Amino acid sequence: MKKVLFLTVVVFVALTQIWSQSANVSSKNTENNQNRFFRIPLIGEKAPTFTAESTNGIITFPSDYGKKWKLLFSHPQDFTAVCSTEIMELANLQDDFDKLGVKVVVVSADPLDVHKQWKKAMENLTLDNNKKIKINFPIVDDENISISKEYGMINAKNNSTKSVRGVFIIDPDNIIQALYFYPMNVGRSTDELLRVVSALQTTSREQVMTPVNWKVGNDVLLLSPPKIDEENSSDIADNYSNPAWFLWYKKYNPK
């Protein structure tokens, strides 16, 4: 009887340990799966916050930039050909972004000391206009890819940084208004980024929309038809056009 009782206790303890180990493995697997799920924040959502080292010192994004438009531009690695041309062109267009009130922040999945070397190398090169560029915006250290994860730029299947090629346009209230992702072998269009920021600012300020291929100075679209009566009919004809009942344009009028 004592042997039976002893064996029962031994079996019970062994099974308890097995169940405990299985539960721990299951818990760890669940935790790992959750850690590998990196969701992209979408249009209309708050931009994720981060504090990190950069070539301009420690920054907290986006709060350090107050009620400004922000452009978050990410890279998978320093000293890559495509990324280098993008950084230099962003630097070349800094005055254009400044005129729009846009603060540029670059994130790259390399350590700070490599960022500094990369920045120095690019500033020693010359562009097509034979002028050297000065990179005033910060290049942020994301060696631990925590920022890339917050912004959903990591491939959850393999943790590769190849997909850290995102662009996020963020408004003064720190709401994401546009986002793009590009492969490593295709350079991004800075002209398009300037165009979209201008369009977003115009639509927000004037409560209008922009048609296909819109550029600054082109006609815009109305959210709803203007009110027409006998007194303002001539004004409507001068300032608006409607090729169809569902399509109303407001003519561009330089001020």
174 Rama class: left (phi>0) / alpha (psi -120 to 50) / beta: left
Catalytic option among 83, 91, 154, 167:
83
Share of the chain above pLDDT 70, in %: 82
Structurally, how many domains does the chain consist of? 2
- State the Rg of the chain over Cα: 27
Same domain, 216 and 122: no
**Taking the alpha carbons of 142, 138, 177, 199 in that order, is the dihedral positive or negative?**
negative
- The CATH number for 166's domain is 3.40.30.10
Write the pLDDT tens digit of every residue in 173-224: 999 999 999 999 999 999 999 999 999 999 999 999 999 999 999 999 999 8
Within a domain: 71: yes
Tell me the pairing of strands 102-108 and 59-61: unpaired
Within a domain: 199: no
The whole-number average pLDDT for the span 138-156 is 93
With residues binned 3-state (H G I as helix, E B as strand, rest as coil), the percentages for the chain, rounded to 5, are: 40, 20, 40
Within a domain: 72: yes
In this structure, what token pair is assigned to residue 207?
């409560």
Same domain, 131 and 234: no
Same domain, 172 and 81: yes
Note if 83 is an active site residue: yes
Would you list the DSSP string of 20-66?
HHHHHHHHHHHHHHHHT--PPPPTTSBPPPEEE-BBTB-EEETGGGT
Same domain, 120 and 235: no
User: At 191, which amino acid appears?
Assistant: D
Same domain, 60 and 157: yes
Range of the domain at 231: 207-250
